[in-house]
Amino acid sequence: MSREPRYAVPGWLWIPAAAGLLFLALPLAAMVVGTDWRHFGALVTSPSARIALWLSLRTAAAATVLSLVFGTPLAVVLARARPRGHRQLRALVMLPLVLPPVVGGLALLLTYGRTGLLGRWLEVAGVHIAFTTTAVVLAQTFVAMPFLVISLEGALRSGTGAYERVAATLGAPPGLVLRRITLPLVAPGLVSGTVLAFARALGEFGATLTFAGSLQGTTRTLPLEVYLQREVDPAAAVALSLVLVAVGALVVLTVGSRTLGGDHG
Partner 1 sequence: MSVRRPRERSVRPRPLHVRLAALVAAGTFAVAALAGCSGAGSPTPSATAAPVTLTVFAAASLSGPFDEIGTAFGAAHPGVTVRYSYGGSSDLVSQLASGAPADVLATADERTMQQAKDKSLVPESALFATNQLAILVAPKNPLGITGAKDLTRSDLKLVVCAPQVPCGAATDRTMQAAGITIKPVSEESNVTDAAGKVTSGQADAAVVYTTDVAKAEAAGTGTGVPLGVDQTPNRYPIGVTATGASGPNTATAEAYVAYVTAAEGQAVLAKAGFGKP
Candidates 158, 227, 248, 264; binder of partner 1 (CB under 8 A) is 227
Q: Which stretch binds partner 1 (CB under 8 A): 83-91, 161-169, 228-236, 244-252?
A: 228-236
Which residues between 151 and 210 bind partner 1 (CB under 8 A)?
209
**Contact of 138 with 113, CB cutoff 8 Å:** no
47 binds partner 1 (CB under 8 A): no
Q: Could you give the residue ranges of the DSSP H alpha helices within 99-169?
A: 101-112, 119-124, 133-156, 161-169
- Can you tell me the distance from the alpha carbon of 110 to that of 104, in angstroms, rounded to the nearest whole number? 10
Candidates 36, 94, 214, 235; binder of partner 1 (CB under 8 A) is 214
* CA 11 vs CA 17, 32, 233: distances in Å: 10, 31, 46
Q: What is the DSSP letter of 8?
A: P
Phi, psi (5° rounding) for residue 179? -75, -45
28 binds partner 1 (CB under 8 A): no
Output the smallest distance, CB 40 to partner 1, in A: 20
118 binds partner 1 (CB under 8 A): no
254 binds partner 1 (CB under 8 A): no
Site string for partner 1, 128-147 (x = CB under 8 A): --xx----------------
- Can you tell me the distance from the alpha carbon of 16 to that of 5, in angstroms, rounded to the nearest whole number? 23
**How many CA atoms within 13 Å lie on the side-chain side of 254?**
15
124 binds partner 1 (CB under 8 A): no
Output the smallest distance, CB 106 to partner 1, in A: 9
Cα angle 114, 210, 68 (rounded to 5 degrees) comes to: 85
- Looking at this protein, which amino acid is placed at residue 145? M
Output the smallest distance, CB 248 to partner 1, in A: 19
Candidates 14, 37, 54, 121; binder of partner 1 (CB under 8 A) is 14
**Contact of 205 with 136, CB cutoff 8 Å:** no
* CA 114 vs CA 72, 124, 185, 231: distances in Å: 30, 10, 43, 30
Nearest to 199 by CA among 157, 254, 134: 254
Candidates 64, 219, 221, 259; binder of partner 1 (CB under 8 A) is 219
125 binds partner 1 (CB under 8 A): no
15 binds partner 1 (CB under 8 A): yes
Residues forming contacts to partner 1 in the complex (CB under 8 A) are 1-2, 5-9, 11-12, 14-19, 22-23, 26, 109, 113-115, 130-131, 209, 213-216, 218-220, 224, 227-232, 234, 257, 261, 263
